Structure 1
């Protein structure tokens, strides 16, 4: 695969991530982390690769740091901060989404309390709550099995 094809594939991935709900610039920055051949990258390198301003990359990097996908690394002798994709990025992200599951669970409970038994909305909200309770109960075991099969490098 040529370098051009490699980065076209990165942009296609970023587009798919954006269509899936990730903001455009964090999606593009994440694609850089996934497709780079380098161990670490700087914000300037991301900006250069994407052809965007350093300011737009700064927000994307902060977003990726906040959800645990990337990490900041010490770079002795360098005036720039270096970042890399975490080895446990995907399980970290999935774990962080437990918060989302908790929010959905609470929203369902609030809806159930506001509707009467037998009401179709009550039934739908009960099913929603039951699904999220199930999911929340299954996530720890799934992540444990993942880590057993794919120990960090």
Structure 2
């Protein structure tokens, strides 16, 4: 077997693990491309070709991965296509306030709290949800600081 085939098999196994962990199938396969590519950046078309997938499904996967902070769009002077890469700090960003999903959860909980009455069980549950995400965001800076000291 050649190295490329073995890498592709490892990428597909990683994608399956991510899918089993709850990630959407195309987002998982797209993330595997970013992790295993030997290029500095890739275009949506290159991902679609590699995965033999539709442009629409790859576009949705890219949007999903960008939303949680795993990938970023790069300027590509002279190119008409958008280029993307895995962020250098992807895993740390996934757990920071830059993560729009965490921010959306906080906003949704706050809206739910405002829409419910204080004694209502829903209000209590939403307040607990909001408190958890606030706690998480409060603890992350120290955790990430320790990570950066260890990794870098």
TM-score band, normalised by the shorter chain? Answer: 0.7 to 0.9
Partners of 1:65 and 1:129 in 2: CA distance:
24
Conserved? CA contact 1:101–1:136, under 8 Å = no
> How big is the shift at 1:3?
0.5
Partners of 2:129 and 2:86 in 1: CA distance:
33
How many residues align structurally?
A: 143
| C-alpha RMSD of matched pairs (Å) | 3.0
Alignment of 1:6-85 (within 5 A): 6-85=7-86
Q: Which runs of 5+ in 1 are unaligned?
A: 116-121
1:87-127 C-alpha deviation (Å, 9 max, x unpaired):
011111111265488589879xx8x9546xxxxxx9xxxx9
- Cα gap change, 1:80 to 1:100, in 2 (>3 Å): closer
Conserved? CA contact 1:105–1:133, under 8 Å = no
- Cα gap change, 1:113 to 1:103, in 2 (>3 Å): farther
Alignment of 1:124-143 (within 5 A): 135-143=136-144
Q: Which runs of 5+ in 2 are unaligned?
A: none
Partners of 1:66 and 1:128 in 2: CA distance:
21
- Cα gap change, 1:103 to 1:12, in 2 (>3 Å): farther
TM-score, normalised relative to structure 2: 0.75
> How big is the shift at 1:82?
0.7
Say which one has the larger Rg.
1
